[in-house]
């Protein structure tokens, strides 16, 4: 049973989300501020976090950064709740490591669909075990253990970033449009726009590339999309 941590300072919203998730067979934990959420994460194993952006004292951005900055929690997927129309908040949230976002007011049914989609992506990581390892110019990937390192230094990626890297590295030299990447990495039940692909690519590059202006692993093909470097 997957355990979901819900972080929001509005008790009614937390209770509503928890009730509906539990009806669908999930286990839930509740937190009404950022610091309390981080304390829960220290003591309990959590499979996914639903995180409100507008929290008292420690906001959702800071909580997200803290989660991603801790090796023990860095791999936990995060769905961020944002105010309606705040596009910049969505982009910033994705840039600091959120896997998806939901705009308030939201449909509980849609939120649960997104939870299922992200957890399914997490489970899909095991599909890459048929080719266990990949190595190119200092970048090493173990598909079975989901371990990534650059020049011998371990890199911790979010589930979405990991699957994006897996997909591109298993198809070196082939160019994919943003929509094709959405289809392959996020699947048919994606709820995000192709602009989010750019954000996740940028986030992934910041983790594995030494020079963001001149990447050597994940390359931009102007006017079309992205590819992993050609390997001869």
**Cα end-to-end distance, the chain, whole Å:** 44
Q: Are residues 73 and 146 in the same domain?
A: no
- Say whether both 94 and 167 belong to one domain: no
Give 203-213 pLDDT, tens digit per residue.
Answer: 999 999 999 99
Percent of the chain with pLDDT over 90: 53
How confident is the model over 107-128, as pLDDT tens digits? 899 899 889 888 877 765 555 4
Residue 215: give its domain's CATH number. 1.10.10.10
pLDDT for the residue 125 = 55
Question: Whole-angstrom Cα distance, residue 203 to residue 216?
Answer: 15
Do 159 and 74 sit in the same domain of this protein? no
The structure tokens listed for 91 are 């982009």
Parent domain of 66? 3-124
- For the chain, the domain total comes to 2
Residue 182 and residue 143 share a domain: yes
Query: Is 152 in the same domain as 220?
Result: yes
The arithmetic mean of pLDDT across residues 189-217, rounded, is 85
Phi first, then psi: what are they for 31, rounded to 5°? Answer: -145, 145
Shared domain for 11 and 119, answered yes or no, is yes
Strands (E), the chain: 3-7, 27-31, 48-52, 78-83, 100-104, 133-136, 139-142, 147-150, 153-155, 176-177, 218-221, 225-228
Report the predicted TM-score, pTM, of the whole model to 2 decimal places. Answer: 0.68
- 32 and 83 inside one domain: yes
Residue 138 sits in the same domain as residue 60: no
Across 75-91, average pLDDT: 81
Helix axes 11-23, 108-124, angle to 10 degrees: 60
The CATH number given to whatever domain includes residue 37 is 3.40.50.2300
Pick the last residue of a domain from 69, 103, 124: 124
């Amino acid at each position: 049973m997957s355990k979901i941590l819900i972080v929001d300072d509005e008790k009614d919203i937390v209770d509503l989300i928890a009730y509906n998730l539990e009806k669908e067979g999930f286990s839930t934990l509740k937190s009404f501020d950022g610091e309390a959420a981080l304390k829960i994460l220290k003591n309990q194993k959590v499979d996914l976090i639903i995180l409100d952006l507008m929290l008292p004292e420690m906001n959702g951005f800071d909580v997200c950064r803290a989660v991603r900055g801790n090796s023990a929690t860095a791999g936990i997927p995060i769905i961020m709740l944002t105010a309606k129309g705040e596009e910049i908040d969505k982009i910033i949230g994705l840039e600091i490591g959120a896997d998806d976002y939901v705009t308030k007011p939201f449909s509980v049914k849609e939120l649960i669909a997104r939870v299922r989609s992200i957890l399914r992506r997490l489970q899909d990581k095991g599909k890459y075990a048929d080719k266990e390892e990949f190595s190119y110019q200092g970048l090493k990937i173990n598909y079975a253990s989901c371990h990534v390192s650059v020049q011998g230094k371990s890199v911790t990626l979010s589930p979405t970033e990991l699957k994006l890297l897996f997909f591109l590295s298993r198809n070196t030299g082939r160019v994919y449009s943003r929509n094709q990447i959405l289809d392959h990495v996020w699947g048919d039940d994606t709820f995000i726009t192709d602009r989010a692909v750019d954000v996740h690519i940028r986030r992934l590059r910041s983790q594995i590339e030494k020079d963001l202006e001149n990447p050597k692993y994940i390359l931009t093909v102007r006017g079309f999309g992205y590819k992993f470097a050609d390997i001869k």
